[in-house]
Structure 1
């Protein structure tokens, strides 16, 4: 089993739309049988190994074990590295066809209005019911600037919809980052690619002054094992990355790879039901070692690792060779990782950002929330004593969109007791905000405000 470690390259749960099929011509079938017998995570019946083609053998294994020609493997790795020709969707199997796990922003599917949760039941007139993701991908993908017609069941209406999409080369930024309102650094990772750790550390360096961090792994289907070890090393207190259990070996714990740049406390990780594989590997280990707080929903539950075997004809066998666990042995496979703080779907970032802001101002008094305010709302703040407004500083009032930026406001004095706060632009419909007034003012009798105040705002 020691020779297997040189093959450990990555673990990927959800196939990006790259053209992965199986062809029987000149397959090194005996090599494939030997590798499966020696390394596959479970014993395989002789009747399966005796089948004449790689596809017939691997379709009796788990969904993540696949045979690929050299060309197919190139396209497959391009998917991990976030560049591909297709319509811009990530897929998983479903009894009715293939389910869209996520839609790549700005891609053909996004522009056409497809959504995560839609189930594609046919492509170019071919039914996908009962078919593998690989088979679906072979039909949906194709050359750039060609068209594919998809029939799908809408997650919103449960009705069948048919749309024609033009395939195109899609280059996906793997890391997104921005400074959220209140100096909270936000970084989103889409894939555990080879350059992911460098991209993350660069993003951290471009957000100086962050007083908290949100690391977003929602809809992240995984990537390279070595990258998961590196990313685990970005978190405070995290010394171990994961535990692997092979077919015949005892559990082995792999160390996190320390990074020169790290997230600082407090840090949150966002996960959802489509966070899988390497995402779960990082999430479960960081949660166990208290390097961050997890927000969201229980993750996908793909705790298996695939190894890559290059065959004599330059084709590749991707084979499940191990299960992974947290360093202390918490299982992930078919279980998933549960968050510390469970949120409603789509509310992960909003709740995390809110908690980050309130943790910085834990002594502030909460005022009654304002619900369903108009997008043109002007806020009136009334004090219970006459105020010395001459010391009013605009920075003492903050209106922050949760999950977004601080909103510029005009602050005006109404009288000795009241002031008005007017956003300089309309609020976002359905948006959520936090209005904070910091304790830096005095009354006319020179009495200092002891604690700040805040209220939560939701918009119609």
Structure 2
């Protein structure tokens, strides 16, 4: 009998809920579990109802997918967070290529400035090179859309696109360049031997923290040491960051153990990341070379090596980003790239300005900057001088 009563109760509870709603009951009078479910569903139905009405009654035909992308984009914009973005399916595909070390675009590295993007490097054989772009050029628009006030991620998304399509770049000097996009393999790690005061020094530069870049840096540094290099200048200028796990792997090239970074957020418990082993000898002098374009993962590595006194930092103040994001795939093929927490260097520093504001960044031990109008790289020269003295 008890089993029968229980079964009847299980059947009657949802029936009572349905009857109550049909008779005009308000969700606030429902049990919590039911209210949450129904209200959430109500929000979804409200959105569907609005889109249905626009699609059916707007005076001209509309693209339902475009409405969805725009609404998601505006929802993320309402967070007032320069580091959080919504990627449409097309944009997310381009982002994936970028983090894998290849993308469909014009072939350059850039840093954000007030007017748009300043070109830092132009890769050989790229559409940008063939079109006449040079380091120091400032791009102010892409296909007629102003880049003023946008983050580097937002601006580069407007420039990237499928291979074979065209993009018109407006420059601060008044030029307009029409470039045909292509699939470009980015030289993520570049290395060479420099000589200063009779000593061989490895100059290893990293363009971004993409998949596998930790292994690439490890290979490049150790190969240069085998060739007789007596010190390392690790160049992170214009490097806007990338994958957190790759930042830990890169730091592990120079730190044999101990803390690299820790993270925590409102819905993310504190997590501590330590060096993974396999570092070069601790008596090899190291200098990290940075500038205002060094951000995020670049600041994690630089902060770890500075706090742990493994390297001196040469250059200019870094960008000042103290938060990290996670990518969340969506059913439409797009993704949310949203801020989920803050990161802290081994000494407990957060390099941001509180929350998602741009902060003080890392102050170099030795100030140096390159004058783009001159042939020598003054910042690199200062880094070589510093590592030679250590």
Q: TM-score by structure 1 length?
A: 0.60
**Distance change >3 Å, CA 262–CA 229, structure 1 → 2:** farther
Consecutive unaligned residues of structure 2, counting only runs of 5 or more, are 1-42, 48-68, 353-358, 371-376
Give secondary structure in 2 for the equivalent of 1:160.
Answer: coil
Which residue number in structure 2 is paired with residue 365 of structure 1? none
Which residue number in structure 2 is paired with residue 88 of structure 1? 107
> Is the 1:298–1:338 contact (alpha carbons within 8 Å) kept by the matching residues of 2?
yes
**Distance change >3 Å, CA 111–CA 358, structure 1 → 2:** farther
Select which of 210, 218, 224 maps to 1:193.
210
Aligned pairs (5 A) from 1:398-413 = none
Which residue number in structure 2 is paired with residue 99 of structure 1? 117
1:79 aligns with 2:93: no
Which residue number in structure 2 is paired with residue 56 of structure 1? 74
More helix by share: 2
Which residue number in structure 2 is paired with residue 160 of structure 1? 174
CA distance, structure 2, for counterparts of residue 146 and residue 250 of structure 1: 44
Q: In the TM superposition, what is the alpha-carbon distance from 1:291 to its structure 2 partner?
A: 0.9
CA distance, structure 2, for counterparts of residue 213 and residue 132 of structure 1: 31
CA distance, structure 1, for counterparts of residue 255 and residue 152 of structure 2: 38
1:279 aligns with 2:293: no
1:210 aligns with 2:241: no
1:173 aligns with 2:187: yes
Which residue number in structure 2 is paired with residue 259 of structure 1? 278
Which residue number in structure 2 is paired with residue 393 of structure 1? none
Q: In the TM superposition, what is the alpha-carbon distance from 1:70 to its structure 2 partner?
A: 4.1
CA distance, structure 2, for counterparts of residue 263 and residue 78 of structure 1: 35
1:348 aligns with 2:379: yes
More strand by share: 1
**Runs of 4+ deviating beyond 6 Å:** none
Q: Deviations over 1:52-89 (max 9, x none)?
A: 81111111221221222444322202112221111123
Which residue number in structure 2 is paired with residue 300 of structure 1? 319
CA distance, structure 2, for counterparts of residue 178 and residue 131 of structure 1: 34
Q: TM-score by structure 2 length?
A: 0.70
Aligned pairs (5 A) from 1:2-401 = 53-61=71-79, 62-91=81-110, 96=115, 98-100=116-118, 102-106=120-124, 107-116=126-135, 118-129=137-148, 136-137=155-156, 139-153=158-172, 159-181=173-195, 182-207=199-224, 208=226, 209-236=228-255, 239-247=258-266, 252-259=271-278, 261=280, 264-333=283-352, 334-345=359-370, 346-359=377-390
CA distance, structure 2, for counterparts of residue 343 and residue 100 of structure 1: 19
> Is the 1:101–1:274 contact (alpha carbons within 8 Å) kept by the matching residues of 2?
no
**Distance change >3 Å, CA 161–CA 186, structure 1 → 2:** same
Q: How many residues matched?
A: 306
